[in-house]
Amino acid sequence: MSHYKVLSLAAALIVFGGCATNPVTGKRELSLISEKQEVQIGKEQAQEAAEQMGLVNDPGLQQYVSSIGMELAKHSERPELPWQFHVIDDPTPNAFALPGGPVFVTRGLMTLMNSEAQLATVVGHEIGHVTARHSVNQLSKQQLAQLGLGIGAVLVPGGDQVAGLASQGLELLFLKYGRDDERQADELGFRYALNDGYDVREMGKVFLALERSSELEGAQKIPDWQSTHPAEPERIANVDKRVAALGAGYKPGRVDGPEYLQHVNGLAYGENPRNGFFRDGTFYHPEMKFQFTVPANWKTQNAPTAVQAINPQQNGAVQLTVAGKGSPEQAARQFQQQEGIEAGEATRENLNGVPSVVAPFQAQTQQGTLTGLAGFIGYGGTTYELVTYAPAQAFEQNEAAFRKIIRSFRPLDDPKILNVQPPKIEVVKLDRPMSLTQFAQQRAGGLSAERLAVLNQVEDPKATLPAGTQLKRVTGEVR
Q: What is the pLDDT of residue 159?
A: 34
Radius of gyration of the chain (CA): 26
CB 121 within 8 A of CB 63: no
- Which value, to the nearest 10 degrees, does the dihedral of the CA atoms of residues 20, 23, 28, 30 take? -50
Q: Tell me what percent of the chain is helix, strand and coil, each rounded to the nearest 5.
A: 45, 25, 35
Tell which phi-psi region holds residue 223, choosing left (phi > 0), alpha (psi between -120 and 50) or beta. Answer: beta
pLDDT at 165 (0 to 100): 36
Q: Nearest-CA neighbor of 377 among 330, 415, 337?
A: 330
The Cα–Cα gap between 92 and 106 comes to 7
Q: Distance between CA 65 and CA 88 in Å, rounded?
A: 11
Per-residue confidence (pLDDT) for residue 4, from 0 to 100: 36
d(CA 456, CA 475): 15
Q: Where in the chain is the domain with CATH 3.40.1000.10?
A: 274-418
Q: Could you tell me if 206 and 118 are in contact, meaning their C-beta atoms sit under 8 angstroms apart?
A: yes
CB 394 within 8 A of CB 369: no
Is the CATH code 3.20.20 the one for domain 424-475?
Answer: no
Nearby residues of 407 by Cβ (< 8 Å), 6 or more positions away:
349, 351, 352
CA 413 from centroid of its chain's CA atoms:
31
* Greatest pairwise CA separation for the chain in angstroms: 83
Q: Among 292, 318, 316, which Cα is nearest to 306's?
A: 318
Kindly give the parts of the chain with pLDDT less than 70: 1-19, 26, 29-32, 140-176, 219-229, 443-446, 479
Tell me how far apart the alpha carbons of residues 291 and 200 are, in angstroms, rounded to a whole number.
48
Residues 444, 451: contact at Cβ < 8 Å? no
CA distance 436 to 444: 9
**Residues carrying CATH 3.10.350, the chain:** 424-475
Specify the pairing of strand 470-475 against strand 434-435.
unpaired
Inter-residue contact 73 to 23 (CB < 8 Å): no
Q: Is CATH 3.40.1000.10 the classification given to domain 274-418?
A: yes
Q: What is the pLDDT of residue 479?
A: 65
Identify which of 21, 14, 233 has the alpha carbon closest to the alpha carbon of residue 131. Answer: 21
Cα dist from 250 to 12, 187, 190, 240, 343, whole Å: 49, 17, 14, 13, 69
On the 0-12 / 13-18 / 19+ scale of CB atoms within 10 A, 209 is buried
User: At 282, is the secondary structure helix, strand, or coil?
Assistant: strand
